[in-house]
Amino acid sequence: MSSSNNAEIALRQYFAAYDGTPKEFEEVESLFDAAFHKKFALVRKSGGRKYVDPVRGNNVDEGKVLDRDAVKELHASYLNKGTTITLIHYRRIGLDCYDCEFRIQNADEACSIHNRRGKD
């Protein structure tokens, strides 16, 4: 199995934990570690809805880059709220780079996020 397939499987397993049931992040931290490379960065793509970073309480602007630790904090707040995450697409866009789009949704808000991550 290719590393691309392994990375996608790890991401799907992690997102499956976001099933709408509130949880503590520690319950899924090993899945996060398997899905997100140590050099992971999230880039907010232009277009789509703006969303608010619940940890920092501000809009995450287009083109803003969040490091792995900031994403972990953000995801912990989503998991605690009982959020669902749905993978929309996952595709290779470079030698060691993948683009994925996923939908994050809870009772209060919904948004799409695009990110790029390196190969595991």
Q: What is the DSSP string of the chain?
A: --HHHHHHHHHHHHHHT-BSS---GGGTHHHHHHHS-TT-EEEPPSSS---EETTTTEE--TT-EEEHHHHHHHHHHHHHHT-EEEEEEEEEEETTEEEEEEEEE-SS-EEEEEEEEE--
> Residue range 9-38: average pLDDT?
94
> Residue range 69-88: average pLDDT?
91
pLDDT of 58 strictly over 50? no
Domains observed in the chain: 3-118 (3.10.450)
pLDDT of 95 strictly over 70? yes
pLDDT of 26 strictly over 70? yes
